[in-house]
Amino acid sequence: MSEVDRERMRAKLNEFTQLLETRTREFKERGDMSDEQHSLISTIKRRHDQMQDRLASAEASGTAWDVIKVEMERDFSSIYDSLAQLDDDEMKRGGR
């Protein structure tokens, strides 16, 4: 994995971390987080942490970027979809 690829993926993970923290804080500040939303946020965080671990492991073992790139992109797509679901659920409940 090249240094540029690692930095790009790290930046993407960090950006998502900030986005998730912001959305979680917004829910908590309004005091209207449902159990379902709390569960979904926990699931997203767990999957995000797994992605960070996978990237760290790939870096440590020298795994070729092509081997994990497709998986990481798929996982990013999935956690962004889950975050969008969280926003959709909030809209349905009359939030925002």
Say what the pTM is. Answer: 0.78
State the pLDDT at residue 1. Answer: 58
3-state helix, strand, coil in the chain (%, to 5): 90, 0, 10
- Number of residues written out for the chain: 96
CA distance 69 to 71: 5
Give me the domain span that covers residue 53. 3-93
* Dihedral in degrees, nearest 10, Cα atoms 22, 33, 81, 15: 10
CA distance 20 to 15: 9
Overall domain count for the chain: 1
pLDDT by 10s per residue, the chain, length 96: 577 877 888 899 999 999 989 988 888 888 777 888 889 899 999 999 999 998 888 888 877 777 788 888 899 899 989 888 887 777 776 655
State the pLDDT at residue 86. Answer: 81
